[in-house]
Structures are given as C-alpha cells and as structure tokens.
A and B are shown apart, each in its own frame.
Chain A
Amino acid sequence: MQSIYRLMPAELFHRCDPGQFKFTTTAELAGITGIIGQQRAVEAIDFGIKIKQEGYNLFALGSSAIAIHSVVKKRLCGKVCQQPTPDDWCYYNDFSESHKPRVLRLPPGRGRQLQTDIDRLVEELCAAIPAAFESEDYHARKQEIVDEFKKRREAAYDELYQYAREQDITIMRTPNGVVFAPMAKGEVIDPEQFMKLPEEEQHRLEAKVVEVQDRLKALIRSVPRWQSESREKIKELNREVTALAVTHPIDLLKQVYNDIPAVTGYFTELEQDILDNMAAFLLSSDTEYDESEEVLDMYSASPRAQKQLVILNRYQINLLVDNGGTQGAPVVYEDTPTYQNLLGSIEHLSHMGSLITNFHLIKAGALHAANGGYLLVDALKVLSHPFAWEGLKKALRAREVVIDNPGNIYNVVSTVSLEPEPIPLDVKVILIGSPLIYYLLCHYDPEFPELFKVAVDFNEHMDRTPENIQLYADTIASLTRKEGLRPFSRAAVARIIEHSARLAEDGERLSTHMKTITDLLREADYWACEQSHEAVDAEDVQTAINAQIRRADRLREQTLEETLRGTILIDTMGEQVGQVNGLSVITMGSYSFGRPSRITARVHLGRGEVIDIERQVAMGGPIHSKGVLILTGFLGGRYAIDLPFSLSASIVFEQSYSGIEGDSASSAELYALLSALAEAPIKQSLAVTGSVNQHGQVQPIGGVNEKIEGFFDLCNARGLTGEQGVIIPQSNVKHLMLREDVVAAVKAGLFHIYAVSTIDEGIEILTGLTAGMRDHSGKFPAGSINERVEARLALMAEARIAYEFVSK
C-alpha cells in the first residue's frame, strides 16, 4: 500500500538539463539589459514614471535579496535619458532682508556660468571702482563740495565774529566751550567797571551777550545739518562715479542673461546695492576713503585681504544645484536619509564664540539634487531618522522644499538663522522597503496612501519556463560581465538554475533574488579560480553552495549531534502509540534547516477538547493554535456526529523550549491523536509534515526540502535502514528540489518520500493498518483505524453520559 504514495527519484529533484542550452559558456551570450521576472513591477515603475499627477510617488516593496535598488535604478536610467535635464537652482542675497535669501532658477549649466560671471564682475569692479575714485575730476568735485561746506561754515562764523565785534562783544575759548563778554576800549570790560555802570546799561550789555550767544548756538546747531548736506552731496557724487564704473559691465551681463528675467532683476538689485555700498570696494583697494561712516560694519573689521572676499560673498550666488553635467532627469539615491540630507541644511560657523551663518552656508539636500528627477530612499532608513519622514512628506505635500533647522521646532538650538525662500519641488520619490513596512504605513499613516499611490510589488520568483530559463542564462552572462567574473559553463548555469529553484522552494519556479544569485556567481568564480578553471563549472557552483551551507550550519550540526547523543529524543526505528516525528524549519539569517521534533498525544475522558500545551503556556503562535483547533473539528465531524464528543486530549512538541508557529505539524498532531485513540502504534522510522483541514485533507507547507533533508540527515547518521522516510503533502511534490545525497538514497531504496492527500492515506503508511471507509450502513470496516477511533470515542461518550447521570 505504501508504494502507491512513494515518490520516484525523478520527482524529488527538478533537474535542469544543460543540453537545452545552445552555448558552451556564457561568454557566447550577448547578455540581457532588461529585468527578468518582474513584469508587474516594471509596469508599475513605468506607470509611476510617466504619470505626472500629484501623489504618484512609488513604493517598491520586496525582499532585500531581489536587489530592488539596482532593478529600479536600471529601469529609471533607461527612461530618464529621454527626459529634460532640470534647471539649476541658486540662492542669492536679498540685500534688503539678508536673513531671507532668495532663490534663482536657471537653465541647466547657466548657474555655474552665472557664478563665474559674478566672480569676474566683482574682480573687475574691485579694480574699476577705486580707479574711478582716483581720477582728478572726482577729487576736484569732492574738494569743491568740502570747500563749499567749509566756506559756508567759516562765513557763518566770520559773520558771527564780525557781528560780535560790532556789538563790542568778545568771544573767547574756555577749556570746555566758548564765552562771551562785553568789551571796552578793545579789552574785556573790567568787572568792577561793569558794576559801576547804570543798571540799564548793564542790562543792555547783557542782552547783547545773550543775543550773540544765541546766534552762536543757532550756528553750532546748523553746522551738523550743513555737514549732512555736504555728505549727501558727496554720496551723490560717489554714486555718480560708481555708476560710471558699474553700469557698463552690469549692462553687458544683463544682455547675456536677457532670456532670464529673474537674473536681470538680480543684476539690477546688485547694481543698486553696489551704488549704496561702494565704500566696500574702495576699502578693498588702496584708495583713500574718508567716509568711514558709510562703510558696512562687516567690512570695517576685516583685514584688507579678506575684504574682497567679503564683497564677493555678498554678491556671489550660492549654486545649490548644478545640473550642468547632468544628462536627462537626475536619479539620486540617498543612503543616509536624515532630515538634513533630504531637505538641506543651514550650516553655521563659529566666530568669536558665536555661531554665525550666511546664505552661502545653505547646503542642498537630496530633494534639491533630485528635483526634476527621481529620489530613491530606503523606507526603513527614512523612518529611522528623526523628523526625516515628516520632512519628506511635508515637502511632497507642499511641493516645495523649505530649508530650516528641525531643532527650531523644539527650540533646541537658539541661533540667528536664515529663512531661505522655498524651492518649488517636482520630484518622484521612490521608497524601497519590505512589504511589512509598506503595509504598516498603509495601515497607520493616513497620508502615506495619498503620497505614494504606486506600489511596485516585486515578485519573489518567476515561472521556470524554457523562455525564462534562457533569460536566466542571459542574466547570468550579463552579471558575470558586470562583475568581471569568468564565463560560466552550460552545466554551471544549469546548476545555478537548479539552485535558484531550490531558493524559490519550488521545482517549477525560479528565484528572483538576484542579489543572492550574484553572490553565488562571485563565490563560484572564486572556487573556479582556486581550481584554476578557465570557466566556472557545475562543480564550482556546487562547491560554492556547499561552502555557503558549511559557513552557516553550525547550529544544524549541533542539533543533529545532540539528537545522535540522545539528548534530543527522536526515534528513527520501532513503533510507538500516540507519538510521531514531526518536522519543523529553523531559520538563522539567510540559512534554514529542518529539524525533527517528537510530537506526542494523550487522550482521556473529557468534554470534547484538544488541549494544545504549547498554547497553554503561550509558546504556540496563533496559526499553530488554529491548526490544533481544526483537529477538534475533524474528530468531532468524522467520529462524533451523533454522540457527545467526550474526548479530552493533550498534544505537545516534546523538548521544545522556544515558540512554535505555523500549522505544518497539524497533520502530525492528528496522526498522534488518532494513534492514541486507536491505540495503534506509529512507525518511528517515518517523519511527517503537512497541515490538515477539518475534512482530513492534507495541505501544503513551506520548507519541505529542508524538512526532508533534516530527517534524512538524522537517519543517515544513524544508518539508513530502508524503512525510513518522510510523508509530505501531495501538493508539495512540485516543490521538491532535494539534495543529491537524498535523491541517491531514495534511488537506492534506502530512504522514501511519500506524498499523501488525506489523513487516511498518511495514517495507513504510519501504522500499516487500513484507515477504512464507511460502508453503505455507515460503519467503518472492523479493525480499521477509523473503526477503532470511532469505537473509542463512542465508549468515551457513553462513559460521559453515565458519569453525568450519576453526578446529577
């Protein structure tokens, strides 16, 4: 009976025939530029790239082993070349509000040109303005103004002195001012003589003194006004002279940039500011300039050598984004998506113990660099950095980048900073992350679906069709060239395809984890080099696979060792009632291995419940608990339709000290339960995997290859008896990609793989007894497993009824 379900060696491993390839090595293949096995994702990327509406940013979700970054970049690079190169972005000084730098948009490459032109302009003006002020005409006109003021002042004082003399009043200097006194005969009137004068005369003289004094006071107060008028005239003259030097070169530049009104506007502002602050240019040269009060504070403290630099800083633009060397739309990957790296930052300099800044210290972020193109960011990284996710969303929502200090929100840093004008944003952001992050964001962040409408869902595997196999070979050829590896022989390619199917856990599919495949190619090349092979052969690939396993399987080895030493109790021969060998998979990083576990069941009279001990002690996951509860449904439905289900059973994974999840052991648990109820011993030479539904159908599970190999390794270590084997779900047969040694043992009849579709099939293999089907009268055949189970449950039901009757 067992042989019906026994699989043939050919079914255990879906071999890739090297003969199907028409090449000897991959060197003969042209390679491939496209992306294989990701048609859905590629279509989504193309859609996301083309659609221009707001919110159609992309989220590429898939395993990290798929190399999503390179796939997305590859796809983008093929498209962006045809897209227009975005503009350059600059910040420039707002001369009226220097803490609010303004933004300038220029066609690509013109930003750098403008920067160079302003460098030259400032250099030219630093020479031309002082030269204009050194002209004789300027000095003559300035002297005229100065002389005019002096003459006016002197004339006023002369007039005052003259008037005082006429009034017989003398004016004399004291240490702190000026004093007035009446005179007599050319001398200051003697005080005694003054006192002898009639009172009326004294008053008259005093009135004269007061009058002259008032005139002087009025005069003294007028002088600053005259001085101010004089200074204004000099300023006007200075502007006139400066304009002579400045207007022409700026007009020339305006002509160069007349196609960009914003730039010509900037030049107009720049010209006006130079006229207002020409003193700075004079201080930067050897020209004598005495109107120091007009000089900007920032210039006065700087050494002359730095003054030209200070001037340049005032007028030079900060070229934030230079797309001069960019072809098409930029594709930017930000590896460290902090808030500052994404949205830009305003740096500060320490100066005399203070933190100072200026618009030249505005630094671009990745959004600036990607503006007009595409920004790739790892979702997990952006979520990990404080403020980064909120900052990114804010920029996408507002469609502009505002550079500020996130610390300001919490007043962490209190420094005078800038408020740069926001830059309009036109960028497609492509987040890359795991499906888990994608679904968490969908669930918990209401803004996320609005901003990232395009899901680029990457396939974990592809169909193993002849066409795809050929494409895979082409991809291997491309990768070997890109990585500079030896060519791979057709046998090596076939072995890689077989391994790819193993990675996909499916003999009919291939893995799309190209990062993993690329690692294997590199390592196979290494081993080929060690063996001095000109081309990488299948044995090199196998050596690489074995080495990978060897590096990772320390724990598997230890577990096996402990089982062999009898520390972990697993029987591989004999029979036991209520005890079966289950199989589980342990994953350590990228390596998984199968491990047999003893599952036992005990039954007794009860109220129709199957107790999952793992669940009771909170070591079982919800899926595992669900699997156990299904058993109750199966037992009740099949054996206790008309009677009270009076079973109480307990099931446990023996020697399990960590959590158990998954339902792949539910069939094994049921076998143990049936064995316990029927008191039919189970062969311990067999192990079982597969989940079960309420109708007793065995359903597929994951990790079938690892599970089989795990039990095989144990049996092999103890010595294969020819009785040992594993029962798997029929629906898992297509997934089989077993190790060569397992297949060889099966071929030699030393090990067996059974594929079953129902619990009845499985229990027959395990017990060697007939499961039994109900006949026309609804009875199971006598002595069959089902009959024994049903009879036991009936006895329990009767016992329970009797017990309850007595209790009442």
Chain B
Amino acid sequence: MSADMENEQYKNILVALDNSQHSTTALNIAAHTAVLMGMDLNGLYVEDSALLRLAELPCAREVRLPSAIDRQLDSATLAGELAIEAEKARKLFLARLQNMNLQGSFQVVRGKVSDEIVSAARQSALLCLGKAGRQLISSVRPGSTALALSESSPVPVMFIEHGASMPVAVMIFYDGSVTANNALYFAARWAQSESNNLTVIIPSDSPVRTLLIKQAAAEILRSVNVQARFSEIGDGDLSRLVNIVDKVRDPLAVVPAASRFLPPDTAAQLLSAANFPLLLFR
C-alpha cells in the first residue's frame, strides 16, 4: 500500500458476492490478495430492495430460466429465495476463509445494491467484486453495479471476470498524480509479494513530461526497493493500454480512475474492453 494507505485505519478487503460465476472468481482472487497483503477478508451479500419492491407490484411476473416459463412473482417467495442465495454466498465465503486461513466476517444487508456496497466499502482498504452479476447472455458486459461502483467507490476497487487467474504480472498506468502514486505503492507491494513482475506504463505526450513522470515513478520504486519495466503509450490511447496488458500472462491492470492523460469515461471503457482483473484507484 501507499504510505497513506499504510496509515489507514482499515486493514481489510471487502468482497461483494451475488453467487454469479464472476463473484465466485472475485472471492478467490480477493482471498489470495488478502493473504498477500496480510489483511482480513469481509464478505457482503446485498438483498436488492428494488427487486423486493418490484415483487409487490400486481403486474410483476417472473420468467424463469432457462425454461422461459412465467409465473406471478410475490415478495414473500422472492424474499425466501434471496435468503437462500445469501446463505449460499455465506457458505461459499466461509469455506474460502477457512481454506485460506483468513480472518473476516460475512454480512447480509438489504438495500440498493451499489449504495450498500459503497457503504460497507468505506470501512475497507480494497473492494473486490465481479465484473458483472448473473446475466442473461454469456458474453461479459459490465453490470450496472460494477459501472456504478467504478464511478462511486470510495476505495480502490478491483473488477474481476469469471475465469481470471490470480494475477502475477502487475501493469500500472502511472501519470504522476497523487492517485497514481498510491496506485504505484500498491502495485509495488503486490509485485514484491508475488513475483517482482511489475511494468509501469507511462504517457508519452511530451518527452520532458514523460521523463519527469518516469523519474517520479522510479523514485517511488527505489523507496520501496522494487525493480520495474517501463512502457509508454500515447496520450489517451486506451486500446494500446489494453493491448499491452492483454499480451501478458495473468496480468493485473492498475489504473487511476481519473487521469488527465486518459479519456473521462476511462473506467467504463476499460470495464467493457478488459477481460483481465482491473484495479481502479480513485
């Protein structure tokens, strides 16, 4: 963690679960990260209040999958089903906790999903969640919760897609900002703990600024005694950034959510384009 983050009061990682394949992968990677960083792991399942409210509507009908048979939905039945899901998530979480010999707790709350996660994440150093929830189609599109949290998460948030492996190579976009400094500290520590495989990607809009940014990064890395490779991308070239990361085996992309060298909707774009774990720093 960055020097600032080292002083943070909260030393735990929060993983949001919804029993989707993505969230299960997120749990695995969050557990590994907790071991790596020496943190506790907390789990959270949110019973969607909007869904429960919707079930009270007389016109609310559910099309069951995969049969496509429809039925009248009622809030009591739905509440029961959500409780079952919550229990399923709890068992999964506790099993992983025990398996990885971690400390932590599991919490079930009811409310608007993104709000409840934001609220719980305020007391964590890092938030992990699946890139999408349970979807109608198999192709991965960022879910509404992921998109909301990419904008509103108060802590660094890691989005994980189903099938991702535990990251080995850390690829960080560093622009010299305070957020980027925090991100670089985090990335350096990860690399140090895992495989010393760190690549710093810096913007190359002008030679002077590039040099300065590189020197700043080098200084931070020297301070934590970590070696890194450097790579450059053109101003705002998100696709180049994705390509560089994509070519590496088992990468973790660490990116400031807002950078003057990147487009304003970087978070949403990266969420859509990347199929590797993405850690957004805000």
Q: Are B51 and A179 in contact (CB under 8 A)?
A: yes
Binds B, one of A187-195, A750-758, A789-797: A187-195
A195 and B56 CA atoms in complex are apart in Å by 11
A174 within 8 A of B: yes
Asked whether B78 is an interface residue with its Cβ less than 8 Å from the other chain, the reply is yes
| B157 touches A (CB below 8 Å) | no
Task: Tell me whether B136 and A178 are in contact (CB under 8 A).
Answer: yes
Asked whether, in the complex, the Cβ of A179 is within 8 Å of the Cβ of B61, the reply is: yes
Question: What is the 8 Å Cβ interface bit string for chain A, positions 197-239, against chain B (1 contact, 0 not)?
Answer: 0000010011001100100110011000000000000000000
Q: Tell me, yes or no, whether A172 is within 8 Å of chain B by CB.
A: yes
A-side contacts of B61, CB under 8 Å: 179-180, 209-210, 213
Q: Whose C-beta in chain B lies nearest to the C-beta of A147?
A: B139
Cα distance A153–B138 when bound, in Å?
Answer: 10
Asked, given contacts A174-B73, A179-B73, whether A220 binds B57 with beta carbons under 8 Å apart, the answer is no
Contact of B65 (CB < 8 Å), options: A177, A182, A194, A209: A177
Interface-side segment among B24-32, B80-88, B198-206, B254-262: B80-88
Q: When A174-B81, A178-B65 are in contact, do A154 and B139 touch as well, CB less than 8 Å?
A: yes
**A174 CB contact (under 8 Å) in B59, B66, B78, B139:** B78
Instruction: Determine the chain B residues whose CB is within 8 A of the CB of A153 once the complex forms.
Output: 137, 139
A176 within 8 A of B: yes
Which residue in B19, B53, B66, B85 is a CB contact (below 8 Å) of A190? B53
Given the complex, which residues of A lie within 8 Å of B81, measured CB to CB? 174-176
Contact A221 B68 (CB under 8 A): yes
Contact with B along A753-769 (1 / 0, CB 8 A): 00000000000000000
Residues of A within 8 A of B68 (CB): 216-217, 220-221
Nearest chain B CB to A226 CB, angstrom units: 12
Contact B57–A174 (Cβ < 8 Å): no
- Number of contacts between A and B (CB, 8 Å)? 95
Is the Cβ of B54 less than 8 Å from the Cβ of A173? no
Known: A176-B64, A176-B65. A157 touches B136 (CB 8 A): yes
Q: Are B58 and A202 in contact (CB under 8 A)?
A: yes
B246 beta carbon closer than 8 Å to chain A: no
- Residue A150 at the B interface, CB < 8 A? yes
Whole-angstrom distance between the alpha carbons of A221 and B63 in the complex? 12
The answer for the CA separation of A170 and B48 in the assembled complex, in Å, is 14
Question: Are A188 and B50 interface neighbours, CB within 8 A?
Answer: yes
Which of chain B's residues 70-94 have a Cβ closer than 8 Å to chain A?
70, 73, 78, 81-82, 84-85
Contacts of B57 in A (CB 8 A): 181-182, 188-189, 191, 194
Q: Please state if B63 and A173 are interface contacts (CB–CB under 8 Å).
A: no
B53 (CB) vs chain A CBs: closest residue: A188
- Cβ-closest chain B residue relative to A174: B62
Nearest Cβ distance between residue B67 and chain A, in whole angstroms? 9
Tell me, rounded to whole Å, the shortest Cβ–Cβ distance linking A202 to chain B: 7
0/1 string, A355-387, CB within 8 A of B gives 1:
000000000000000000000000000000000
Interface pair A220/B137, CB less than 8 Å apart? no
Among A153, A178, A195, A202: residue with most chain B CB under 10 A: A178
Q: Which residues of A contact B59 (CB under 8 A)?
A: 181-182, 194, 202, 205-206, 209-210
A216 to B66, CA, bound (A): 12
Given contacts A174-B51, A213-B70, whether A179 and B60 have CB atoms under 8 Å apart is: yes
A189 to B53, CA, bound (A): 8
Contact indicator B54/A179 (Cβ below 8 Å) = yes
Q: How far is the CA of A590 from the CA of B70 in the complex (A)?
A: 97
Residue B146 is within 8 A (CB to CB) of chain A in the complex: no
Please give, as numbers and ranges, the residues of chain B lying within 8 Å of A210 by CB-CB distance.
59, 61
Indicate if the CB atoms of A179 and B55 lie closer than 8 Å: yes
Given the interface pairs A174-B81, A216-B63, A220-B63, the reply to whether A191 lies near B137 with Cβ below 8 Å is no
Contact between B66 and A191 (Cβ–Cβ < 8 Å)?
Answer: no
Q: How far is the CA of A173 from the CA of B18 in the complex (A)?
A: 11
Whether B85 contacts A177 by the Cβ 8 Å rule is no
How far, in whole Å, are A194 and B66 apart by their CA atoms in the complex? 30
Contact among B53, B65, B85 for A220, CB-based, below 8 A = B65
Cα separation A804 to B52 with both chains bound (whole Å): 137
- B209 in the interface (beta carbon within 8 A): no
The chain A residue with its CB closest to the CB of B81 is: A175
A interface residues with partner B (beta carbon < 8 Å)? 150, 153-154, 157, 170, 172-182, 187-191, 194-195, 202, 205-206, 209-210, 213, 216-217, 220-221
In addition to A150-B139, A191-B58, 9 A-B residue pairs with Cβ atoms within 8 Å of each other are A154-B139, A175-B81, A175-B82, A182-B57, A189-B57, A206-B58, A209-B60, A209-B61, A217-B70
